[in-house]
Amino acid sequence: MRCGRWPEGDADYSGRWRAIKARFTKALKRAGVELARNEKGECDVWQRRFWEHTIRDERDLRHHVDYVHYNPVKHGLVRRVSDWPHSTFHRYVKEGVYSVEWAG
């Protein structure tokens, strides 16, 4: 299997995300990261469910990228999209896709 490609006929998104989340969480623990646990004893690294969506076209992709870039503002972590340092937004600004003042 080459990087970035799905095995032929494999569409088990739930199983793949479950494996990705488990490996990532285990790697955090091995690295010594202290993980909080919720009332069910689960690590609160990931939300329990996810919303599967196949990107239909360029417009749909742009909509979802905008959503991801705006999330830190929506959740009160920063006042402006450009204030969030862990975002691909900064690369998009360099490429001229967004203005640094996008979304206020």
| Domain locations in the chain as residue ranges | 1-52, 55-104
Per-residue pLDDT, 15: 84
How do residues 51-96 score in pLDDT, each as one tens digit? Answer: 777 888 999 999 999 999 999 999 999 999 999 999 999 999 999 9
User: How much is the average pLDDT of 33-51?
Assistant: 81
- CB atoms near residue 81 (< 10 Å): 24
Q: How many Cα atoms occupy the beta-carbon half-sphere of 72 within 13 Å?
A: 16
The percent of residues in the chain predicted with pLDDT above 70, rounded, is 94
Q: What is the pLDDT of residue 31?
A: 93
Whether 38 has a pLDDT exceeding 60, the answer reads yes
Buried b / exposed e over 41-74, threshold 16 CB at 10 Å, is: eeeeeeeeeeeeeeeeeeeeeeeebbeebbebbe
Q: Does the pLDDT of residue 21 top 90, yes or no?
A: no
